[in-house]
């Protein structure tokens, strides 16, 4: 890293709040007459920080590898969807793990939860590239999930 650059220089603005650190909700009146006023809250995606730090690929890759059991040294067989309180690296690790399993053909159900845990993360493209590489290394392909769903989405 350039000595003149700070770690914040590599951070990117949250895609949800656009770096404003807050989300605004316009008020409304419900059909039964309950009035809900305008509301401003800290952004739920970036937890009010406004930015996301650069991807720590070594930490993500380390979190993907099983340290015990029959899969020791290989891609984990399971990983629990993290809570926001567990941090950005935990969310990114889950996202990469889940997409790698999808693309590798191990679990071809659509990875909706994975997308939700990294909502607002501007480094999603980089995480997708890591997931593709992990899928190729662990399963020999990164196209199995796409092949499974291609017909449903009119690609064939």
Query: Given the DSSP bridges, would you call strands 28-29 and 22-25 parallel, antiparallel or unpaired?
Result: unpaired
Residues 39, 67: one domain? no
- H/E/C letters for each residue in 106-125? CCCCCCHHHHHHCCCCCCHH
Residues 122, 48: one domain? no
Domain holding 109, by residue range, is 53-149
Residues 62, 20: one domain? no
Residues 57, 46: one domain? no
Can you give the pLDDT of all 156 residues of the chain as single tens digits?
Answer: 344 434 445 899 999 999 999 999 999 999 999 999 999 999 999 999 999 999 999 999 999 999 998 989 999 999 998 987 899 999 999 999 999 999 999 998 889 999 999 999 999 999 999 999 999 999 999 999 888 888 788 877
């Amino acid at each position: 890293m350039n000595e003149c650059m700070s770690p914040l220089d590599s951070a990117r603005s949250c895609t949800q709040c656009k770096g404003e650190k807050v989300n605004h909700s316009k008020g409304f009146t419900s059909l039964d007459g309950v009035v809900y006023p305008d509301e401003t809250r800290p952004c739920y995606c970036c937890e009010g920080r406004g930015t996301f730090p650069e991807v720590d690929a070594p930490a993500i890759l380390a979190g993907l590898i099983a340290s015990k059991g029959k899969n020791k040294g290989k891609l984990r067989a399971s990983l629990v969807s993290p809570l926001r309180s567990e941090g950005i690296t935990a969310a990114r690790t889950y996202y990469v793990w889940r997409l790698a399993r999808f693309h590798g053909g191990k679990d071809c159900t659509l990875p909706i939860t994975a997308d939700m845990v990294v909502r607002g993360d501007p480094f999603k493209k980089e995480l997708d590239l890591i997931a593709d590489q992990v899928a190729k290394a662990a399963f020999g392909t990164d196209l199995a999930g796409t092949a499974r769903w291609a017909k449903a989405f009119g690609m064939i």
